[in-house]
């Protein structure tokens, strides 16, 4: 049968980030599908191979398929690797503690947790997938990855057009009262600026509203601070690029993550985008 030129199978532990890897591959031009039973992988490849542009294919397959752990290893070795010369198996994992926290935060059920506590379900899945992990071409532990860092890692490894992957700059505004984000490369505390929270008519608004922006611009220290911040970040970016850094995460925090940090992160992100940088802006706490 005809097959795609390049195939990436994404598997691993539930909650380890497989859907984020899939979405990143789609951004890179892969034709992707999720939760495909093993028995349907070959018919799917036959179908998509008829499409002229479906030369790069990504498939998420995992324990949501019955008997996946016992069926897949032989299928991958005996069928897929012979069918598609450029086949890669990615196995994603994370620590038990991180996986349990992720399921708690999303309130989604673990596929093996019907009659088991979440911790036991995670351990059972890890044990069941031992052989699948052993045949993987790439194992990624996502315990310390943010969503943006995982995306950057996948882009770095799987962009196939021969061009350099631009550094992804993620700007995260947040409130210190809700904890500091993980894995920040740079952190700027802007709590020294006057807080719009104490102006009754400004309290319900956020840092993207023109009233908040104007209020901050009226503060004598604001423009001076932003100029110095912009110069400092501008100085650092080429240094990070020289070190071949594929992602940079900048946190900007104020008390509640609603006004000051949002306004500055948004302004900085937009200015960097105008200069041609690849930027993602995340306002973590502004709707709390």
Identify the domain boundary among 107, 126, 158.
158
Are 176 and 90 part of one and the same domain?
no
| Containing structural domain, residue 143 | 6-158
The pair of three-digit structure tokens given for residue 19, joined into one six-digit string = 């859907």
Backbone angles phi, psi at 46, to 5 degrees: -60, -40
Burial class (CB in 10 A: 0-12, 13-18, 19+), 158: buried
Contact 54, 48 (CB under 8 A): yes
Residue 161 has pLDDT above 60, yes or no: no
Beta strand ranges found along 199-265 (DSSP E): 247-254
CA distance 23 to 13: 17
What share of the chain has pLDDT > 90, as a percent?
64
At 46-74, the pLDDT tens digits run 888 777 667 889 999 999 998 999 999 99
Average pLDDT over residues 181-189: 89
Residue 163 lies in a domain: no
Are 189 and 131 part of one and the same domain?
no
Backbone angles phi, psi at 57, to 5 degrees: -125, 140
Are 275 and 204 part of one and the same domain?
yes
CA distance 277 to 22: 24
Closest of 166, 171, 180 to residue 268, by C-alpha: 171
Are 49 and 175 part of one and the same domain?
no
The total number of structural domains in the chain stands at 2
Residue 227 lies in a domain: yes
Residue 164 has pLDDT above 60, yes or no: no
Residue 210 lies in a domain: yes
Average pLDDT over residues 148-169: 71
CA distance 144 to 78: 34
Identify the domain boundary among 124, 158, 192.
158
Token look-up 């950057």 returns 152
Are 137 and 173 part of one and the same domain?
no
Identify the domain boundary among 106, 131, 158.
158
CA distance 255 to 80: 53
Residue 288 lies in a domain: no
Residue 75 lies in a domain: yes
- Find the CATH number of the domain harbouring 143: 3.40.50.300
Residue 163 has pLDDT above 70, yes or no: no
Residue 247 has pLDDT above 80, yes or no: no
Q: How does residue 245 score in pLDDT terms, banded at 50, 70 and 90?
A: low
Backbone angles phi, psi at 284, to 5 degrees: -65, -40
Residue 169 has pLDDT above 80, yes or no: yes
At 264-277, the pLDDT tens digits run 999 999 999 999 99
Average pLDDT over residues 8-35: 92
CA angle 285, 287, 288 (to 5 degrees): 70
């Amino acid at each position: 049968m005809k097959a795609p030129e390049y195939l990436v199978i994404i598997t691993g532990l539930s909650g380890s980030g497989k859907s984020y890897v899939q979405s990143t591959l789609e951004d890179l031009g892969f034709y992707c599908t999720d939760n495909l039973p093993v028995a349907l992988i070959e018919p799917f490849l036959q179908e998509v191979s008829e499409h002229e542009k479906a030369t790069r294919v990504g498939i998420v397959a995992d324990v949501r398929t019955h008997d996946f752990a016992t069926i897949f290893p032989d299928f991958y070795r005996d069928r897929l690797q012979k069918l598609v010369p450029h086949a890669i198996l990615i196995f994603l994992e994370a620590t038990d503690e991180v996986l349990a926290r992720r399921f708690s935060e999303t309130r989604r059920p673990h596929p093996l947790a019907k009659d088991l506590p979440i911790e036991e379900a995670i351990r059972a899945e890890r044990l069941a997938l031992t052989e699948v992990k052993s045949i993987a071409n790439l194992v990624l532990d996502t315990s310390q990855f943010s969503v943006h860092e995982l995306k950057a890692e996948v882009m770095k490894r799987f962009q196939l057009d021969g061009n350099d992957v631009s550094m992804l700059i993620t700007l995260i505004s947040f409130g210190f009262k809700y904890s500091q984000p993980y894995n920040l490369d740079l952190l700027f505390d802007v709590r020294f600026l006057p807080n719009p929270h104490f102006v009754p008519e400004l309290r319900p608004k956020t840092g993207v509203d023109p009233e908040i922006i104007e209020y901050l611009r009226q503060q004598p220290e604001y423009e001076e601070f932003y100029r110095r911040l912009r110069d400092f970040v501008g100085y650092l970016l080429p240094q990070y690029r020289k070190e071949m850094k594929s992602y940079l995460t900048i946190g900007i925090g104020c008390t509640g993550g609603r006004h000051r940090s949002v306004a500055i992160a948004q302004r900085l992100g937009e200015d960097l985008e105008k200069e041609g940088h690849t930027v993602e802006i995340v306002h973590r706490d502004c709707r709390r």
